[in-house]
Amino acid sequence: MDKEKLEKLLAKVQAGEMTIEQALEKLSVLPYDDLGYARLDLHRALRTGIPEVIFCQGKTIPQVVGIFERLSQHHARVLGTRATPEMAAAVQERLPDVHYDPTARLLALSPEKAQAFPEDAPYVLVACAGTTDLPVAEEAAQTAEFLGSRVVRAYDVGVAGIHRLLGSLDLIRSASVIISVAGMEGALTSVIGGLASCPVIGVPTSVGYGASFNGLAALLAMLNSCATGVAVVNIDNGFGAGVFAHKILKV
């Protein structure tokens, strides 16, 4: 149950539209709802401001559908990460309002229209080195947008053609937080860290040839960055970067 739903529930009790016993019944599933194969943390949004998100990878299609359905009964907005097209089709059959993005591999139930921001509103800049980094970059960007942050994108600005990055210098200097997504040697994050005054979140990706060791080389390069103000999340963890950026923006 998120804050908005809890407020509506308490307002109904206050207005006499619902009895205390009925409200207690609604709240009886807290602190979690046990489905047998998953225990859903229904008041995570009340503790952290962000509801439980479904990590779909490794789950069966019926499990993803069941969790998504149950969360949608308690939250107006639900997000699932690392979802396959088959998972998306099954969820959308039961919940037609769910949107699936095959690039980001995100399933999102978000009934309200996308928030409109003024031109001078603070934003998260998501920059990625190459087109092959787009799945992770979009996972980060769309996660931050789902949570309510303004996101600006600068894609295919890797250091192999650094003039492309410098063409986005105004965006870098005006950003409130930057997510830098890169595979190979991961150099983009250090370069951005040397240009930006805001916090930079490095996201190493598993993109690269053999000696990149599925993203380990980029991870170590970002961890050893000589640029200050750089933090690093795990390999391919666009979701984690999007959440972290959103929290920084909302401080």
Three-state SS for the chain is: CCHHHHHHHHHHHHCCCCCHHHHHHHHCCCCCEECCCCEECCCHHHHHCCCCCEECCCCCHHHHHHHHHHHHHHCCCEEEECCCHHHHHHHHHHCCCCEEECCCCEEEECCCCCCCCCCCCCCEEEEECCHHHHHHHHHHHHHHHHHCCCEEEECCCCHHHHHHHHCCHHHHHHCCEEEEEECCCCHHHHHHHCCCCCCEEEEECCCCCHHHHHHHHHHHHHHCCCCCCEEECCCCCHHHHHHHHHHHHHC
Give 56-74 pLDDT, tens digit per residue.
999 999 999 999 999 998 8
Residue 1 pLDDT exceeds 60:
no
- Please indicate whether residue 226 or residue 33 has the higher confidence score (pLDDT): 226
Give me the mean pLDDT over the 68-84 stretch: 92
Question: Can you give the pTM of this predicted structure?
Answer: 0.87
Residue 132: pLDDT band by 50, 70, 90 thresholds?
Answer: very high
Residue 24 pLDDT exceeds 90:
no
Give me the mean pLDDT over the 10-33 stretch: 78
Residue 49 pLDDT exceeds 90:
no
Residue 195: pLDDT band by 50, 70, 90 thresholds?
Answer: very high
| pLDDT recorded at residue 245 | 97
Residue 47: pLDDT band by 50, 70, 90 thresholds?
Answer: confident
Give me the mean pLDDT over the 15-33 stretch: 75
Domains located in the chain, CATH noted? 3-109 (no CATH), 124-250 (3.40.50.1970)
Residue 42 pLDDT exceeds 90:
no
Give 147-184 pLDDT, tens digit per residue.
999 999 999 999 999 999 999 999 999 999 999 999 99
Give me the mean pLDDT over the 75-87 stretch: 94
The mean of the pLDDT values for the chain is: 91
The pLDDT > 90 percentage for the chain reads 72
Residue 30: pLDDT band by 50, 70, 90 thresholds?
Answer: low
Give me the mean pLDDT over the 22-46 stretch: 76
